[in-house]
Structure 1
Amino acid sequence: MAAAGDGPWLDDAAGRLVRPFTVSNGRTRPTVALDLMSQVMATGATPLGYLGPEHAQALERCSVPVAVAEVAAHLKLPVAVTKVLLADLVDCGALTTKPPVFHHNPTDRALLEAVLDGLRRQL
């Protein structure tokens, strides 16, 4: 059954009734280089042209700097689809992006081993 206010596009048992690739019009590659930790933020500019409801939801989420992965989780969409949506918003000037800032070496062996150990404990 659809939850109140969700409309016909969600079903508790089946989940999202619209396939993710339809949200991005079948596109799988963003026009802007984004990774999971890239920060995106709304510029305040009004996007021109039609944007889908997912674009509007993403734009609302980006009122403060937020990581691409966090936007994807909030929208409950695959990261690849979210990157395409966010790239659309960057292309129309509604979002700005900056690469992640690492205060340490992201390929540090000790850090990677700590992450691996944490993942093993979860399993």
Structure 2
Amino acid sequence: MTDDEDAWYDQDAGPLVRPYQVTRGRTKPVGPQLDLITLVVATGLQPHGLNPEYLRVLEVCAVPQSVAEISAKVGLALGVARVVISDLLERDFLMFRSRTISAMPDLEMLQRVLEGIRRL
């Protein structure tokens, strides 16, 4: 077998970095609970000495993004993205806002939605 036949990846895949290397072995984020729809945005502080994955998250977060969007756009697994985001939140490079869901739905809004569906 040649070296080419032993390769289990192709050159187009780029560098292989294991998720645990990005997060230094951590699998759980610290700080606030981040769900898929938590909105995150960069604070504008200038980062120094961050890993490329962390810098890519900051670039994506120039405009508000959900945790799910960040994970997809940066190409990190969701768990890894949560750890990276939590690290950046802890260092004040990012800020977040969770969407709050009221206990009681807006009945007027639901009525308008129902009327709109009936018109279809």
* One-letter amino acid of the structure 1 residue matched with residue 81 of structure 2: T
Counterpart in the other structure of 2:96: 97
Q: Among all aligned residue pairs of Structure 1 and Structure 2, give the percentage whose two residues are the same amino acid.
A: 37
- The Cα offsets for residues 80-110 of structure 1, whole Å up to 9 and x where unpaired, read as 10011011111111100111245898xxxxx
Structure 2 unmatched runs, 5+: 1-9, 105-120
Between Structure 1 and Structure 2, whose CA radius of gyration is higher?
A: 2
Alpha-carbon distance in structure 2 between the residues aligned to 1:23 and 1:91: 16
Is 1:2 matched up with 2:1?
no
- The Cα offsets for residues 21-72 of structure 1, whole Å up to 9 and x where unpaired, read as 1111111111122111100000111235x31100000000001110000000
8 Å contact kept, 2:60–2:74: no
What are the equivalent positions in structure 2 for 1:8-27 lying under 5 Å apart? 9=15, 17-27=16-26
| CA RMSD in angstroms, aligned pairs only | 2.2
Deviating runs (4+, > 4 A) in structure 1? 101-105
Task: Calculate the TM-score normalised by the size of structure 1.
Answer: 0.68
Counterpart in the other structure of 2:43: 43
Task: Calculate the TM-score normalised by the size of structure 2.
Answer: 0.69
Counterpart in the other structure of 1:34: 34
